[in-house]
Chains A and B, each alone.
Chain A
Amino acid sequence: MGLSSAKAAALLARDGPNALSPPKQTPEIVKFLKQMVGGFSILLWIGAILCWIAYGIQYSHDPSSSLDNVYLGVVLAVVVILTGMFAYYQEAKSTNIMATFSKMIPQQALVIRDAEKKTIPSEQLVVGDIVEIKGGDQIPADIRLLCSQGCKVDNSSLTGESEPQSRSCDCTHDNPLETKNIGFYSTTCLEGTATGMVINTGDRTVIGQIASLASGVGNEKTPIAIEIEHFVHIVAGVAVSLGITFFIIAVSMKYPVLDSIIFLIGIIVANVPEGLLATVTVSLSLTAKRMAKKNCLVKNLEAVETLGSTSIICSDKTGTLTQNRMTVAHLWFDNQIFMADTSEDHSNQTFDQSSGTWASLSRIITLCNRAEFKPGQESVPIMKKVVVGDASETALLKFSEVILGDVMEIRKRNRKIAEIPFNSTNKFQLSIHETDDPSDKRFLLVMKGAPERILEKCSSILINGQEQPLDDSTAEAFHTAYMELGGLGERVLGFCHLYLPADEFPETYSFDIDTMNFPTSNLCFVGLLSMIDPPRSTVPDAVTKCRSAGIKVIMVTGDHPITAKAIARSVGIISANSETVEDIAKRLNIAVEQVNKWDAKAAVVTGMELKDMNQEQLDEILANHSEIVFARTSPQQKLTIVEGCQRLGAVVAVTGDGVNDSPALKKADIGIAMGIAGSDAAKNAADMVLLDDNFASIVTGVEEGRLIFDNLKKTIAYTLTKNIAELCPFLIYITVGLPLPIGTITILFIDLGTDIIPSVALAYEKAESDIMNRKPRHKKKDRLVNTPLVFYSYLHIGLMQSLGAFVVYFTVYAQEGFRPSSLTGLRVEWENDNVNDLEDDYGQEWTRYQRQYLEWTGYTVFFVAIMVQQIADLIIRKTRRNSIFQQGLFRNKVIWVGIASQIIIALILSYGLGSVTALNFTMLRPQYWFVAVPYAVLIWVYDEVRKLLIRLYPGSWWDKNMYY
């Protein structure tokens, strides 16, 4: 009868609509404001506010004072807002997990209410409603089936099992996920029809719970975010402490508070690398693009680097490590095991095909098979053709097509007379054919099935094409082979045939498959054939690479332990010479319990065992075995495993494809969803999508991630260096009283102008050595910005740069009339607007504006000097250990684009905008561009010496303190 409309309305009011509630969203404005105050923004805001305060003080003294400080404040604010908007834009691009969960919601449901069938929006379903579903529908809520006609559902989005599952109205299991009489919200009904009663709606459905679990799993900070935060702290710490120190010094040197505030602004602006965070983002997105080309689509930019620091990969088996299709792996006939080629194209079948047994076997394989290619695929390579039929039959069809050629043609020549398809009671499949030999009028009965069943039906065996009686020794051989193949985790099929005697079965004989009016025993056994979902051919190599890169690969699969172990062995997750506890027990012939379990390098843990373990036991296993396979695990256990790995301090990458994987994907440091097999929810929860589902792509991703980490180090080192050259002028200005060597605006032009493209260019730098032979970086110990980096950038190169720039500055002043000796302590008079006849060393007299203009010329040459030395800095940062000449000066073309951009921007600023007084640039005499060149060369030479010593004395004191 269904519910009455009134009752339904009441329930709807009580439970709410049948829809997933969206997660609490941070309002966009909050996100935006967070970007506005994150990173260095706070410091710059302080700078801007100080500017306005300074103007306020000036204004209160003299209402006609210049607006310079207001402009500077505005410029700083604009810089913050622009970088904030850039960061916000980047963040907004990463999509929200709930988006596709809601997309999966079915739109309409056929419901029985008031004893009438109605179509209503599924959001209005309430508990107790009776709904009808049919093939092709999405199930509108969690329902308990009341009656079903051949109903099959696809639960892959929920459990990851891709095989259709039949649904009936009997309760077969206590676990709702296992029982056959429950259909789940958002899964698809593939065929048949069913009627069911709604038992859960909205967030209370199984998928709703997973969704809330996934969004409940906290999004932890990525390693690179932590590194950048650490770096921001260092730089901000330096900026603030220097600023305050010099503010105090300035005040105690009797500078007016106003001046001290202006010094403070200068120090902050000089210390903060304004463009750096944007540069880091650009570098990361460049890498993300590069990875996308290699089939790793990165959703969350920071995940680019996370992959590089990954130390454990928890990988799925099916589809990721394997090709996700059954393939013939071994054959056994003539008492011999032959290996078939399982590579992606099967091109290289090398086993002996001359034996008469093979001819018979191949005929059975061809004929006793119902699978067919879909028409219209003539031009498609055999392995890629779409087949109608189940996985094993498909494997056999393709196998025979590759070896024998046109299977359809062979089948046509051997017309099928009768057939018994495979079913689970018989466990065999049988068909009867005419032969293609026109002189042979006998029928051929071919049969395949479970090996032991087939053997039971046989009385003879084909050896080298000759039929021989099946004796105990051959049966023994059969069993050994069967066990061996089974032990490889392969699905084994037996094949036999029988030529029906022509006298008993004339051409006109009518076969009846129900009465079985033909012999099904005393057949002739031909051979065994085993199939496996073989590893992708690129995977073993990739696993080896992971191993040499210090990454532990853990296989997590729902498959049988034997199959899982076999695949693990064949791809190298369990290496050839390592043993599990069971292996040791077998070798030493003792009970499993007696083996010291820490002797075993490898471990295969099943889901059942995992269920009984507590946290400590799991941690022990994860820590003590280097090669681990988790088999028969339920999807939920994946999360447990990931958490276990993370407790050990590892950076964990997890692959997954089902909806059920999304909590684990979210929990992992980097979740990797499968692009082809993956559900949308998995893709949403993941940080990265593997477009080709191939494990090997992860390894290339790791390589890129490590490279970008190294290159970011270089970028940061490059950017930090000039901070000192920007800072020293202020410190000297305050303490020695020189005319200001470089202005705040000019500094901004370096940070946001000339330096931007070169620092991005470092992201294109190639690796110095094989980065895949290195261990993954330790989260806490291998910092992005470490002490040697800061010391070397600030106290070595940075200092050299400032000295070089000061030499240029002094040159200009000396050539214009002010020698260094008379510059010291000149600041007060120099900046006095009323002194318009200040005498220089030649007795010439300068007006205030003439001095101002000279000061701007000073800014410009200081700027040019820093720019020229930053070119040298850029070149030396190409490598950290190797000589530049080993790395190749011209291999990274982008570096040269960067250098060109620096020079061009500087030229434009000096000669193009030299007349715009607000920018404080002037046109320079051409020779001033070259004064700093010797110091640039000096920097280069010094760094080459540093690298040479590092290479000559690895592990020495020098290496430890000078290698960043």
Chain B
Amino acid sequence: MRRQLRSRRAPNFPHGYRYRLDDQDEVNQNYLADEEEEAEEDVRVMGVPNFEEEVNEEEQKEEEEGQGQPTGNTWWQKLQLMNEYLWDPEQRMSLARTGLILVIYFFFYASLAAVITVGMYTLLLAISPYMPTFTERVKPPGVMIRPFAHSLNFNFNVSEPDTWQHYVISLNGFLQGYNDSLQEEMNIDCPPGQYFIQDGDEDEDKKACQFKRSFLKNCSGLEDPTFGYSTGQPCILLKMNRIVGFRPELGDPVKVSCKVQRGDENDIRSINYYPESASFDLRYYPYYGKLTHVNYTSPLVAMHFTDVVKNQAVPVQCQLKGKSIINDVINDSFVGRVIFTLNIET
């Protein structure tokens, strides 16, 4: 019985536990006689089965005697057995102690977790959910285009709708939020050419300015549901990344301008911008964050590439222009600019 116990317990303890500090003195003092000690231990182990048999006999006797008065001797032996169960002299470890270890570790980690949780909680309480504490990492604004599907290369064949159909679907999906009806219902029509500043507490809901799909004219998909892809004159929408509190210079809205990035400038002979100003109107700024500025719709600029060289890849770079706009960060080709290629086959 005891051997089983031991073998079951043994793997729980790295051997290091066997050599504890209090043993060191004893061990060191007499390390020369260590082997003897071990031999003694072996003898003890060998002796154990007999010992247990005796105890069992005693116990049987007790049972036979019913509630007979146990002799002090048996009690003593029982106590010893119990003691050995709790404190195995060989393993120098006991089951009870394993439990203790687990309990102590549990409490240690629980209190650690509590401390950390409290720390994190107070931290998050201290950070406003309405306004980010710092915005320097997200500035200056990045630029992204739609349609976007994994790649900035627009390869399609005008005569094969399959090659451009997904662009159309993507654009349609994207522009759902800009539907005139929706915009008129949710948002207000605010005066153009000036910031739409809404004072008041930060947790107050903010109103958003309308940006109607119809502003995009030929690229709105309302007149030409294929956004010009069927005619080889693709529309590409450009949006500036939202940044809470970002304001373009007053009276100088951010403009978009595209040109051939590398190669012959005449590869693109004309681009139409919608809205015609090719700019993001000031009334869409500042942005107050998604918690309060719920219906905010990012302003867009649509580029209608009406006359692009066909059957050849044309790299296009669209840049934001304006004060406080940076569009030449070397490491980041999406800050203030976006580069894509048009390869329209006929």
Instruction: Name A residues whose Cβ lies closer than 8 Å to a Cβ of B.
Output: 311, 550, 622-623, 648-650, 775-778, 781-783, 786-788, 795-796, 799-800, 803, 806-807, 810-811, 814-817, 819-820, 834, 836-837, 839-850, 853-854, 857, 917, 925, 934-935, 938, 955, 957, 959-961, 963
Once the chains bind, are A788 and B16 in contact (CB under 8 Å)?
Answer: yes
- Chain B residue at smallest Cβ distance from A803: B116
Once the chains bind, are B144 and A781 in contact (CB under 8 Å)?
Answer: no
Once the chains bind, are A843 and B135 in contact (CB under 8 Å)?
Answer: no
Residues of chain B contacted by A843 (CB below 8 angstroms): 242, 244, 287, 289-291, 293, 296
Residues of chain B contacted by A803 (CB below 8 angstroms): 112, 116
Residues of chain B contacted by A960 (CB below 8 angstroms): 17, 20-22
Residues of chain B contacted by A963 (CB below 8 angstroms): 21
Listed from nearest, the 9 A-B pairs whose CB atoms lie closest are A843-B290, A787-B16, A775-B28, A849-B332, A847-B142, A845-B241, A815-B133, A847-B334, A960-B20
Among A787, A837, A938, contact of B241 (Cβ-Cβ < 8 Å): A837
A-B contact pairs, 28 of them (CB 8 A): A550-B28, A649-B31, A776-B28, A788-B16, A803-B116, A807-B116, A807-B119, A807-B120, A814-B123, A815-B133, A816-B132, A816-B133, A816-B135, A817-B138, A836-B338, A839-B290, A840-B138, A844-B138, A845-B142, A845-B144, A846-B241, A847-B142, A849-B333, A850-B142, A934-B119, A959-B21, A960-B22, A961-B101
Residues of chain A contacted by B34 (CB below 8 angstroms): 649
Residues of chain B contacted by A850 (CB below 8 angstroms): 137-138, 142, 332, 335
Once the chains bind, are B97 and A957 in contact (CB under 8 Å)?
Answer: yes
Residues of chain A contacted by B291 (CB below 8 angstroms): 842-843
A429: shortest Cβ distance to chain B, in Å?
50
Residues of chain B contacted by A837 (CB below 8 angstroms): 142, 144, 239, 241
Interchain CA distance A836-B141 in the complex, whole Å: 11
Once the chains bind, are B14 and A787 in contact (CB under 8 Å)?
Answer: yes
- Chain A residue at smallest Cβ distance from B35: A649
Interchain CA distance A788-B135 in the complex, whole Å: 46
Among A786, A844, A959, contact of B242 (Cβ-Cβ < 8 Å): A844
Among A311, A649, A814, A816, contact of B137 (Cβ-Cβ < 8 Å): A816
Interchain CA distance A938-B115 in the complex, whole Å: 10
For window 268-311 of B, CB contacts with A under 8 Å fall at: 287, 289-291, 293, 296
B124: shortest Cβ distance to chain A, in Å?
6
Known: A815-B134, A842-B289, A849-B333. 4 other contacts (CB 8 A): A623-B32, A834-B150, A854-B137, A917-B331
A801: shortest Cβ distance to chain B, in Å?
11
Once the chains bind, are B331 and A849 in contact (CB under 8 Å)?
Answer: yes
Once the chains bind, are A848 and B120 in contact (CB under 8 Å)?
Answer: no
Once the chains bind, are A796 and B108 in contact (CB under 8 Å)?
Answer: yes
Once the chains bind, are B16 and A786 in contact (CB under 8 Å)?
Answer: yes
Residues of chain A contacted by B28 (CB below 8 angstroms): 550, 775-778
Once the chains bind, are A842 and B290 in contact (CB under 8 Å)?
Answer: yes
A924: shortest Cβ distance to chain B, in Å?
11
Residues of chain B contacted by A934 (CB below 8 angstroms): 119
Confirm or deny: B24 has a beta carbon within 8 angstroms of a beta carbon on chain A: yes
Interchain CA distance A814-B126 in the complex, whole Å: 10
B97: shortest Cβ distance to chain A, in Å?
7
Interchain CA distance A938-B105 in the complex, whole Å: 17
Q: What is the total number of residues of chain B having a CB less than 8 Å from a CB of chain A?
A: 65
Once the chains bind, are B112 and A799 in contact (CB under 8 Å)?
Answer: yes
Most buried by A among B23, B27, B120, B138: B138
Interchain CA distance A925-B134 in the complex, whole Å: 10
Once the chains bind, are B129 and A841 in contact (CB under 8 Å)?
Answer: yes
B21-65 CB mask vs A (1 if < 8 Å, else 0) is 111110111011110000000000000000000000000000000
Once the chains bind, are B20 and A847 in contact (CB under 8 Å)?
Answer: no
B299: shortest Cβ distance to chain A, in Å?
13
Residues of chain A contacted by B110 (CB below 8 angstroms): none
- Chain A residue at smallest Cβ distance from B244: A842
Confirm or deny: B243 has a beta carbon within 8 angstroms of a beta carbon on chain A: yes
Confirm or deny: B188 has a beta carbon within 8 angstroms of a beta carbon on chain A: no
- Chain A residue at smallest Cβ distance from B142: A847
Once the chains bind, are A782 and B19 in contact (CB under 8 Å)?
Answer: yes
Confirm or deny: B131 has a beta carbon within 8 angstroms of a beta carbon on chain A: yes
Instruction: Name B residues whose Cβ lies closer than 8 Å to a Cβ of A.
Output: 14, 16-17, 19-25, 27-29, 31-34, 97, 100-101, 105, 108-109, 112, 115-116, 119-120, 123-124, 127, 129-135, 137-138, 142-144, 148, 150-152, 239, 241-244, 287, 289-291, 293, 296, 329, 331-335, 338
Residues of chain A contacted by B32 (CB below 8 angstroms): 622-623, 648-650
Once the chains bind, are A955 and B22 in contact (CB under 8 Å)?
Answer: yes
A3: shortest Cβ distance to chain B, in Å?
57
Residues of chain A contacted by B142 (CB below 8 angstroms): 836-837, 845-847, 850
Residues of chain A contacted by B129 (CB below 8 angstroms): 841
Most buried by B among A777, A787, A935: A787
B329: shortest Cβ distance to chain A, in Å?
8
Residues of chain B contacted by A650 (CB below 8 angstroms): 31-32
Once the chains bind, are B138 and A816 in contact (CB under 8 Å)?
Answer: yes
Interchain CA distance A925-B242 in the complex, whole Å: 23
Once the chains bind, are A820 and B334 in contact (CB under 8 Å)?
Answer: no
A816: shortest Cβ distance to chain B, in Å?
5
B132: shortest Cβ distance to chain A, in Å?
5
- Chain A residue at smallest Cβ distance from B136: A816
Residues of chain A contacted by B243 (CB below 8 angstroms): 844-845
- Chain A residue at smallest Cβ distance from B28: A775
Interchain CA distance A810-B115 in the complex, whole Å: 15
Most buried by A among B34, B109, B137, B151: B137
Once the chains bind, are A810 and B334 in contact (CB under 8 Å)?
Answer: no
Once the chains bind, are B335 and A847 in contact (CB under 8 Å)?
Answer: yes
Interchain CA distance A311-B31 in the complex, whole Å: 10
Most buried by A among B16, B151, B335: B16
Once the chains bind, are A775 and B25 in contact (CB under 8 Å)?
Answer: yes
A777: shortest Cβ distance to chain B, in Å?
7
Residues of chain B contacted by A938 (CB below 8 angstroms): 115
A794: shortest Cβ distance to chain B, in Å?
12
Interchain CA distance A810-B127 in the complex, whole Å: 11
Interchain CA distance A854-B139 in the complex, whole Å: 12
Residues of chain A contacted by B127 (CB below 8 angstroms): 814-815, 819
- Chain A residue at smallest Cβ distance from B108: A796
Among B24, B151, B244, contact of A782 (Cβ-Cβ < 8 Å): B24
Interchain CA distance A419-B138 in the complex, whole Å: 109
Once the chains bind, are A787 and B138 in contact (CB under 8 Å)?
Answer: no
B193: shortest Cβ distance to chain A, in Å?
24
Interchain CA distance A154-B32 in the complex, whole Å: 40
B295: shortest Cβ distance to chain A, in Å?
11
Residues of chain B contacted by A834 (CB below 8 angstroms): 148, 150-152
B326: shortest Cβ distance to chain A, in Å?
12
Once the chains bind, are A820 and B120 in contact (CB under 8 Å)?
Answer: yes
Interchain CA distance A699-B14 in the complex, whole Å: 35
Interchain CA distance A913-B243 in the complex, whole Å: 28
Interchain CA distance A960-B132 in the complex, whole Å: 50
Residues of chain A contacted by B29 (CB below 8 angstroms): 550, 775
Once the chains bind, are B134 and A783 in contact (CB under 8 Å)?
Answer: no
Once the chains bind, are A844 and B334 in contact (CB under 8 Å)?
Answer: no
Residues of chain B contacted by A800 (CB below 8 angstroms): 112
Residues of chain A contacted by B23 (CB below 8 angstroms): 781
Interchain CA distance A843-B290 in the complex, whole Å: 5
B191: shortest Cβ distance to chain A, in Å?
24
Interchain CA distance A938-B119 in the complex, whole Å: 12
Residues of chain B contacted by A845 (CB below 8 angstroms): 138, 142, 144, 241-243
Interchain CA distance A618-B251 in the complex, whole Å: 103
Residues of chain B contacted by A783 (CB below 8 angstroms): 16
Given contacts A649-B34, A816-B137, A834-B151, contact A778 B332 (CB under 8 A): no
Once the chains bind, are A778 and B124 in contact (CB under 8 Å)?
Answer: no
B10: shortest Cβ distance to chain A, in Å?
15
Interchain CA distance A917-B34 in the complex, whole Å: 60
Once the chains bind, are B112 and A847 in contact (CB under 8 Å)?
Answer: no
Interchain CA distance A853-B29 in the complex, whole Å: 61
Residues of chain A contacted by B116 (CB below 8 angstroms): 803, 806-807
Most buried by B among A806, A836, A849, A857: A836
Once the chains bind, are B123 and A853 in contact (CB under 8 Å)?
Answer: no
